[in-house]
Amino acid sequence: MQPWLAYGAPAMATFRSFLPLALGCAASCFAPVTARAQALPPVAEATTTYEIVEDTVVDDERGSDRFVASALADAHLEATAIAAFGPFRVLDPHRAALVAGTNAGSPRALAAMLAVYPGIAVIEMVECPGTDDDNANLRLGRMIRRAGIATHVPAGGSVRSGAVELFLAGSRRSADLGAEFAVHSWEDENGREPPDFAPSDPVNQAYIAYYRDMGMSDAQAQAFYAMTNSVPNAEARWLSVAEMKRYAALD
């Protein structure tokens, strides 16, 4: 979660895109589109038409991105995936992996993937640097939650910045020892961070509401958001699986 940095490996750089959300906006949009799975030999491209329902959010002039730069891609995973939809790779009819940052097109990519592979029940979070569109990222998280999909971070998996929101979206959440998480505060395009806005400002309350929707109590949501915001946008706090368990229930 949180507008982001860029880190390199050992000195990564992070951006984190944050487009403010207004509380209580819950209109739904129905946009028929045609989605095409990215071709991954030896599987042919899959084409389907579907409708996507997305939560409508209200943007203002503030904007940013939340991103901690990627490590090297998993060559074996890329070679064995049977299809690709945006940042998602289909591992088999029941499992997908998230292997890249999310953007404005990621909710549609998820909807396209589920239209072709409706049996997907878990998303393996392998290499997840964050997002360059927070509005879309939180819509994506809510879609994962509504679909009842579990999230899992394997040993060596890295969930950073805005991707932490997606991990929290899992209907069930689990992480192997050796998984890592990274958080920090967001920063808008004018260089402002959460403390520059009142706690009651919709830009801050949108995250609290999201965490509650993902199953946290109000106290947990407040504590988690405060913890992430205690880290300046230009830095990152790395969390172990045990530390994540302090804020969110894990299997």
Q: Distance between CA atoms of 184 and 162, rounded to whole angstroms?
A: 9
pLDDT tens digits, 185-208:
888 878 889 999 999 999 999 999
pLDDT tens, per residue, the chain with 251 residues = 444 333 333 333 333 433 333 333 333 333 333 333 443 433 333 333 333 333 333 333 333 344 555 555 677 788 899 999 999 999 999 999 999 999 999 999 999 999 999 999 999 999 999 998 888 999 999 999 999 999 999 999 999 999 999 999 999 999 999 999 999 988 887 888 999 999 999 999 999 999 999 999 999 999 999 999 999 888 899 999 999 999 888 98
Single-letter code of the amino acid located at 187: E
Quick one: pLDDT at residue 186?
83
**Eight-state DSSP code of residue 230:** T
Backbone angles phi, psi at 224, to 5 degrees: -65, -45
User: Which of 96, 102, 208 is CA-nearest to residue 151?
Assistant: 96
Structural domain boundaries in the chain? 6-244
Which of 182, 184, 206, 102 is CA-nearest to residue 144? 102
Domain 6-244 fold? 2-enoyl-CoA Hydratase; Chain A, domain 1 (3.90.226)
DSSP 8-state class, residue 37: P
Alpha-carbon separation of residue 107 from 11, 16, 31, 136 (angstroms):
30, 18, 12, 7
Sequence-distant (6+) residues with CB within 8 A of 126 are: 74, 77, 97, 98, 99, 154, 157, 158
For 85, what's the count of Cα atoms within 13 Å in the CB-facing half-sphere? 24
pLDDT in tens, 100-113: 999 999 999 999 99
